[in-house]
Amino acid sequence: MESAIISEIPVKKSNIQLVGPVILLGAPGAGKGTQAKRISERYGIPQISTGDLLRENISRGTALGMEARSRMERGELVPDELVCKMVADRLAQQDCTRGFILDGFPRTVKQAEWLDKHLAGNHIFEREKGSNAPVVIQFAVEYNQLLQRLTGRRTCPTCGRIYNVHTQPPLTEGVCDIDASALVTRKDDRDDVILERLRTYELQTLPLVNYYRQRNRLREVDGGGAVDRITAETFKAIEDGDRL
């Protein structure tokens, strides 16, 4: 069981101008969303969570949301072409020109191939110098910790802040520290769906580790333990080398 690891260290803003694409890989519950928010704060680039975008579509009742809903509730992936189109639309927005964080995308080899082509062919992301290739960070976390994290997760429906009843509890039980909204449990954080999501991850997403390793883009970060230590290693992975 992980111990309580409430993060105390505020994120320091960076003055780096061009960050480029950052991809966060990892199993459900690996901490992609938690770390994405901290990366976004440090570098001033947007977090693009395909899970959040799909959930927004579901709550707005769009055609995409209707298509995605039952698959997400079963712990399966939404079809590649729908997700790629959604990501293309999001990347075309003005706030992505200095860089962006992809949280939960790509999730299949097809999505990764699509993304490589999209980044290569799209001048909006061209950097003044250096490579436009993404930095890919893989968070490795033990299976039992993933289960504990997912069953204990609570989210603020207003500001999106993520809590955990075991490891990152709010100051008042069930209430967001920031805006006092009542915290909610995600529909797909039910035991049976969690197991299916973890199976789906192993079958369809884990092959991406090799995909990016072979292209020499993978940075591996131990995603177990204190949030602040993981954040520090993540920032280092983003800033290392000749990419920035």
Which residues are known to be catalytic? Answer: 32, 107, 153, 186, 197
Three-state secondary structure call for residue 223: coil
Answer yes or no whether residue 29 interacts with ligand AP5 by CB under 6 A: yes
Length of the chain equals 244
> Which residue number, 19 or 64, has a Cβ lying nearer to ligand AP5?
64
Kindly give the pairing relationship between strand 47-49 and strand 135-140. Answer: unpaired
CA atoms within 13 A on the CB side of 166: 13
Number of amino acids touching ligand AP5 (CB under 6 A): 37
What b/e string do you get for 164-177 counting C-beta neighbours within 10 Å, with b at 16 or more?
A: bbbbbbbeeeebbe
Binding segment for ligand AP5 (CB under 6 A), chosen from 21-29, 59-67, 113-121, 234-242, is: 21-29
CA pair distance 38, 33, nearest whole angstrom: 9
Contact pattern for ligand AP5 over residues 165 through 204, marking x by CB under 6 A: --xx-------------------x--------x-------
Binding segment for ligand AP5 (CB under 6 A), chosen from 104-112, 129-137, 169-177, 214-222, is: 104-112
According to DSSP, the residues that pair with 26 across neighbouring strands are 139
| CA 30-84-193 angle, 5° bins | 40
Answer yes or no whether residue 33 interacts with ligand AP5 by CB under 6 A: yes
* Residues at the site binding ligand AP5, with contacts judged by CB under 6 A: 2, 5, 26, 28-34, 49-51, 54, 71-72, 75-78, 83, 104-105, 107, 111, 149, 152-153, 162-164, 167-168, 188, 197, 227, 230
